[in-house]
């Protein structure tokens, strides 16, 4: 399944437990590329049928959903379904729900 450098990213995202979230940067760091946060987003967008990666647990450093399109509503719904709460500003408390805690 060597789908390129995304494999490592997918592996990390899959390791994120339900009810927790990680930022693109965190995934990038764990993947060994702290400057490749954008690439993580690329990997998420590249997700297609067949990949059971919990992409919805990946948010930006602001604890906010970056998806400009309706995908944001879906991601938020999935996160709330896992018990994650959103701030009035639509932000998630990374200190509380972050994988790192």
Partner DNA sequence: CTCTTGACGAAAC
Partner DNA sequence: TGTTTCGCCAAGA
Between 89 and 101, name the residue whose CB sits nearer to DNA.
Answer: 89
- Give the residues lining the site for DNA (CB under 7 A): 4-6, 23-25, 33, 35-42, 44-47, 55-56, 58, 60-62, 66-68, 71, 75
Nearest distance from C-beta of residue 56 to DNA, angstroms: 7
- Residues 6 or more apart from 4 whose CB is under 8 A from it? none
Nearest distance from C-beta of residue 75 to DNA, angstroms: 6
Between 4 and 101, name the residue whose CB sits nearer to DNA.
Answer: 4
At 59 the three-state DSSP class reads strand
Nearest distance from C-beta of residue 43 to DNA, angstroms: 8
- Residues 6 or more apart from 85 whose CB is under 8 A from it? 92, 93, 97
Token pair of 66 as six digits: 């970056």
Q: What is the DSSP letter of 33?
A: -
């Amino acid at each position: 399944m060597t789908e390129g450098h995304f494999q490592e990213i997918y592996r990390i995202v899959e390791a994120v437990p339900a009810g927790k979230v990680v930022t693109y940067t965190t995934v990038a760091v764990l993947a060994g590329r702290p400057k490749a946060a954008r690439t993580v987003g690329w990997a998420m967008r590249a997700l297609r049928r067949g990949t059971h990666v919990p992409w919805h647990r990946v948010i930006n450093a602001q604890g906010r959903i970056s998806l400009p399109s309706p995908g944001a509503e879906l991601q938020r719904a999935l996160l709330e379904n896992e018990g994650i709460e959103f701030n009035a500003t639509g932000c998630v408390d990374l200190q509380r729900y972050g994988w790192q805690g």
